[in-house]
Chain A
Amino acid sequence: MKSTFANVVSSLPADYADLRFEENRKVRIVYEGKELSQVATTLTSGGHVRAYANGGKAIASFSDPGRAGPIAEATCASAVLVGNSREKKLRVADAPVIAEDFLITPPVDPREVPLNEKLDLTTHYNELILKNPHVITTNTVYDEFTSRRIFVNSDGSVIEYELVNVGIFGMIVTKKGNVVQRVRFAFGGNTNYTPLLDREADLEKQIAKACELLDAEPAKAGIYPVVLDPSESGVFIHEAFGHLSEADGLQNNPSFRAKLQLGTTLGKPILNVTDDATLPDLPGSYRIDDEGVPGMRTPLITDGVLSGRMHNRETAAEFGEPLSGNMRAVDVQCTPIVRMSNILIEAGDSSFDEMVASIDDGYYLVGAKGGQTSGDQFTFGAQWGYRIQSGKLGNMVRDINMSGELFSTLQATSMIGNDVAFGERGGCGKGGGGPMQMNRKSGKGSPHIKIDAVTIGGI
């Protein structure tokens, strides 16, 4: 199949073309409360072709590999059509030609674990949650995704590679009177099955928080200083800054492109931010991206100054900046788009206690609960929080969303902790000009940080 696809792209009258064909296997076990609602194995396959011709670009996805040839030819013709209307021609940066396979051999390979063991483990965790009398339902999910991909391009690269991601995650739902609260948990999130095991103590902590929240007060609306735990600050740097460091989002936005010139001071000298696909055993770790470029470490902010950016071959050429290996597609029918691998705020030298002690009236926000960004505006939620008054942690609070503007918030990041931690479940939704792609292979890490002012939505 490799040689067939290689012949397809090499015979196209294109400036550059590539084709990715993948065979994916998903195993999903889902409990909803007591009910085992799903034990399913999914086998999907399909291809995606991209062509640059005459300075234009076109892409296509297809299910039937037998139609790869005619679809690639039609895609190339569409690229010519696009090029006819463009004065500024699109092109791709030079990249190494790679003929190598990148297969994955985790210490305990989830593909080798029998289905009944996976089911028993999921059942065990689900039953542990249901034992608590405040729990009214659960959503406990075993999620295993493996992908075997072939990538060929007109430069001569022929690569076979794998992606593996396995985790158990879910939601604990508790109720008392009219108050219903939800707390998340996640174990694993990388290629290895072992981190899914023996996590009862971690799960018990999350169950306890879901119960405590039933007696918590809603947050009060206003502008406050906050301390974010590593999970929250990981989401903050991912949502607020990370997406604006993905060059495909900046490519056609002149005002942000001007604001985000390399060398621009964005924060205090204590702030260092990196995207790193080479860190081992994290949700966003990989060897090769879906454009045939090796994953790598890319410093984004160094000593408070913008020092790098995440690219694909097209944006690297347009910006005149180095390749970063961030071009990724989540599934068969998706085109690759520029995405973070593992983004992190590097460790500083403040302690958590010092941060809390520095706040007269604010909040400590804990536990990522998703977020959304649009340009420099961001909003994200916390699973729970605590009031901080006169330098001390106070009562627990619930139902918290915070929002802000990137540039002023980065400048207001005044303390950075020494306790970097990564979340065990990746997750990022991005459209990139096409349908939303939900990427499980997206890592987020950070120490505790203090931000001097954000807007809290509440009562």
Chain B
Amino acid sequence: MHPIIEAARQAVDQAELYWNRAHSISVRYENYRLQQVTENDVSETSLRVIKDGKIGSAYAVFPDQEGFLDNAVIGSKYGDPVQYSFADAADYPALDSYDASAANLTSADLIGMCEDIKTKIQSKLPDVALGIGAGLEATELSVQTTRGADAASKSTNVGYYFGAPFKGAGIGVYKFASGVRTPAIDDALINEFVEWYNWGNATSTPSTGRLPVILAPEAAFLMMMPFLSGVRGEAIWKKTSPLTERLGEQILSEKITIRENPTLAGSTDARAFDDEGIPCAPSTLVDRGVLKDFLFDLRFGAAMDRPSTGNGFKRTMFGSGNETATNPWFCCPTVDPGDTPWQDMIKGLDEGLLITNGMGFHSGNYPQGQFAVQAVGFHIVNGQVVGRLDKTMISGNIYEDCKKIAALSSEVGPCSGFLPIGTAPYIMIDSLQVAGK
């Protein structure tokens, strides 16, 4: 145990120390040219205490920083009474989260990865403003409490991305890959990037009305974020969620099964314990369209007389890190795949949209299941992509529109956007409202 935990035993009723240390290197290419190397070596820590039944917190760079414990104690004088205790000692699942050779990558190694990508794409798309990046982050995380929790992990995250705006446009096509170990430069991913980029050389605007819409895995957040906002224990307890009284009800299409998969093999966001030192465990949130479970941290679990589900994380939609208050959040959400090859979805459409991103999502009333976004993606006519979407918005409510899912693809890809790294298939929605011509 860290000495501050021992000191806290004398000063407060309970204490919890969160400490994150990260070493990272990244290289960035702009317009096919190496632009910058970044190397960071940073530490951040937070301390929560319970004294006289009230909670206080403080944040610092290192745990031995002067005044760290005192600031948390001062905070507890003003804090509200708490109904929970910090984590007890526990066994944590073993994760394959660290690779020593990845941790030892250098900027020269990362430049080499980018040069490989550059060589493979430059011959096919020599005139685009290609951006490439590669990065390594090696992290040590520990959560210790005066009640005996002593969770520690080491992890590595190596990834690359590449992408380019369409000529004369502000949007483009972007692809990425990441892993605990150095991911191979994937020719299939590069070929898909080239194909999609060429699809977008022309623009097309659909007519205003209702049309079938395919969400690519990278756009699955349009369905997932409204849903996951609704199953957070905080929204349930505050009754701001439209799912508050709906456990056991059919809320989405019976084709949809959504899981929280915090120990997902290969995900660089996988975790053995949450930021409160509670073990993480998989759960099914929606089983064939039926709502099965919510996500809790210690605080909101106690408020609703439930144990934490191991979902207390220092994350929000717009950030994560030490100073973010712990709250119920998700780790590696996944959507089960279906059995339709995604390219067959396109072939079967008279007219529809393939969506790869939705701009302005966070401005909408997503906690209620709604979204209204600028559609980024492609217009499909007679089973063919006819160009990238232009001057097009899509809007809907997942609890109405996602009750009618036409198909899920057999392939899955990483879903990101506002989400931690999970996986999702292509999701074909019967119809959404489209504002176009």
Closest residue of chain B to A252, judged by CB?
B30
> At the interface with chain A, which of B150-158, B237-245, B421-429?
B237-245
Cβ-defined contact, B168 with A88, below 8 A:
no
Q: Are B59 and A42 in contact (CB under 8 A)?
A: yes
Q: Does A85 contact B (CB under 8 A)?
A: yes
- Whole-angstrom distance from the CB of B387 to the nearest CB of chain A? 15
- A403–B374 CB distance below 8 A: yes
- With contact pairs A37-B325, A38-B325, A85-B34 given, residues A62 and B78 touching in the complex (Cβ less than 8 Å): no
Report B64-81 residues with CB < 8 Å from chain A CB: 65, 67, 71, 74-75, 78-80
Which A49-88 residues have a C-beta within 8 angstroms of B? 56-64, 67, 71, 74-75, 78-79, 81-82, 85-86, 88
* Residues of chain B within 8 A of A192, CB atoms compared: none
| A335→B393 contact, CB < 8 A | no
List CB contacts (< 8 Å) of A363-384 with chain B: 369-381
Residue of B62, B362, B395 touching A457 (CB-CB under 8 A): B395
Chain B residues in 8 Å Cβ range of A372: 359-363
Partner of A40, one of B44, B58, B170, B394: B58
Asked if A403 contacts B362 (CB within 8 A), the reply is no
Residues on the B chain within 8 Å of A42, using CB = 58-60, 323
The reply to whether B360 and A401 form a contact with Cβ atoms under 8 Å apart is yes
| Residue A30 is within 8 A (CB to CB) of chain B in the complex | yes
Question: Which residue in chain A gives the minimum CB-CB distance to B60?
Answer: A43
Query: How far apart sit A173 and B240, CA to CA, in the bound complex (Å)?
Result: 8
For residue B104, CB closer than 8 A to chain A, the reply is no
Encoded as 1 (CB less than 8 Å from any A CB) or 0, chain B from 93 to 136 comes to 00000000000000110010000000000000000010100000
Name the B residues within 8 Å of A404 (CB-CB).
391
Is B406 among interface residues, defined by CB-CB distance under 8 A?
A: no
Chain A residues whose C-beta falls within 8 Å of the C-beta of B62 in the assembled complex: 63
Residue in contact with B37 in the complex, picked from A79, A333, A436, CB distance below 8 Å: A79
Is the C-beta of A242 less than 8 angstroms from some C-beta in chain B? no
Which chain B positions have C-beta within 8 A of A44? 44, 59-61
How far apart sit A79 and B38, CA to CA, in the bound complex (Å)? 10
Residue A227 at the B interface, CB < 8 A? no
| Residues of B150-207 whose CB lies within 8 A of A | 165, 167-171
A175 at the interface (CB under 8 A from B): yes
Contact B38 A58 (CB under 8 A): yes
* A377 CB to nearest B CB, Å: 5
Residues of A within 8 A of B111 (CB): 81, 85
| Distance in Å: Cβ of B118 to nearest Cβ of chain A | 10
- Where chain A touches its partner, the secondary structure class is strand
Quick check: B61 and A74 within 8 Å, CB to CB?
Answer: no
Contact B239–A136 (Cβ < 8 Å): yes
Among A62, A137, A182, A252, contact of B129 (Cβ-Cβ < 8 Å): A252
Cα A398 to Cα B394 in complex, Å, equals: 16
Q: Is B373 in contact with chain A by the CB < 8 A criterion?
A: yes
Q: Which of A38, A57, A222 contacts B36 (CB 8 A)?
A: A57
Question: What residues of A have a CB within 8 angstroms of the CB of B80 in the complex?
Answer: 35-37
Q: Is A259 an interface residue (CB 8 A)?
A: yes
Q: Which residues of B are found within 8 Å of A406, using beta-carbon distances? A: 170
With a cutoff of 8 Å between Cβ atoms, the chain A residues found around residue B3 in the complex are none
B40 near A254 (CB under 8 angstroms)?
no
User: Looking at B78, B318, B359, B363, which has the most chain A CB atoms within 10 Å of its CB?
Assistant: B363
Contacts of B238 in A (CB 8 A): 32-33, 136-137, 173
Tell me, yes or no, whether A178 is within 8 Å of chain B by CB.
yes
CB of A253 within 8 A of CB of B42, answer no
Q: What is the bound-complex CA distance between A137 and B235, given in angstroms?
A: 10
Instruction: State which of A46, A119, A381, A403 has its C-beta within 8 Å of the C-beta of B42.
Output: A46
Task: Kindly list chain B residues whose C-beta atoms are within 8 Å of the C-beta of A116.
Answer: 78
Knowing A136-B239, A254-B31 touch, does A78 contact B107 (C-beta < 8 A)?
Answer: yes
Q: How far is the CA of A79 from the CA of B79 in the complex (A)?
A: 48
Interface window among B8-16, B215-223, B364-372:
B364-372
Asked whether A394 is an interface residue with its Cβ less than 8 Å from the other chain, the reply is no
B34 touches A78 (CB 8 A): no
Query: CB < 8 Å: which of A33, A253, A371, A380 contacts B31?
Result: A253
| B36 engages A381 (CB within 8 Å) | no
Q: Which residues of A sit under 8 angstroms from B108, Cβ to Cβ?
A: 81
B44 to chain A, nearest CB (A): 8
Flag whether B328 is at the interface (Cβ < 8 A).
no
- Asked if A379 and B433 make an inter-chain contact with CB atoms under 8 angstroms apart, the answer reads no
Flag if A376 contacts B170 (CB, 8 Å): yes
Taking a contact as CB atoms under 8 Å apart, the answer to whether B239 and A175 are in contact is yes
Given contact pairs A40-B58, A380-B363, A59 touches B30 in the complex (Cβ within 8 A) = no
B67 to chain A, nearest CB (A): 7
**Cβ contact of B374, chosen from A40, A369, A377, cutoff 8 A:** A377
Q: Cβ of A390: which chain B residues have Cβ within 8 Å of it?
A: none
Structural contact, B41 and A40, CB atoms closer than 8 A: no
Q: A residues within 8 A CB of B376?
A: 374, 377
Q: Which of A39, A81, A136, A178 contacts B242 (CB 8 A)?
A: A178
B365 touches A255 (CB 8 A): no
Closest to B34 in A: A85
Q: Is A180 an interface residue (CB 8 A)?
A: yes
* Residues A375 and B169 in contact in the complex (CB < 8 Å), given A335-B38, A458-B372: yes
A45 at the interface (CB under 8 A from B): yes
Q: Is A401 within 8 A of B393, CB to CB?
A: yes
- Say yes or no: is B435 at the interface (Cβ < 8 Å to chain A): yes
Q: Is B283 an interface residue (CB 8 A)?
A: no
Q: How far is the CA of A173 from the CA of B367 in the complex (A)?
A: 11
Residues on A with beta carbons closer than 8 Å to the beta carbon of B360 = 370-372, 378-381, 401, 403
* 8 nearest A-B pairs in the assembled complex, by CB-CB distance: A375-B170, A381-B363, A379-B360, A457-B372, A252-B30, A457-B393, A221-B435, A403-B374
B residues whose Cβ falls under 8 Å from a Cβ of A: 26, 28, 30-31, 33-44, 56-62, 65, 67, 71, 74-75, 78-80, 107-108, 111, 129, 131, 165, 167-171, 208, 234, 238-240, 242, 318-319, 323, 325, 359-365, 367-368, 370, 372-374, 376, 391-395, 433-436
Residues of A within 8 A of B (CB): 26, 29-30, 32-33, 35-46, 56-64, 67, 71, 74-75, 78-79, 81-82, 85-86, 88, 115-116, 119, 136-137, 173, 175, 178, 180-182, 221-223, 251-256, 259, 332-333, 335, 369-381, 398-401, 403-406, 429, 433-434, 436, 438, 455-459
Complex A-B: 17 CB contacts under 8 Å: A32-B234, A38-B79, A81-B37, A82-B35, A85-B34, A115-B74, A136-B240, A175-B239, A178-B242, A180-B242, A221-B395, A222-B435, A254-B31, A255-B168, A379-B359, A433-B28, A455-B391
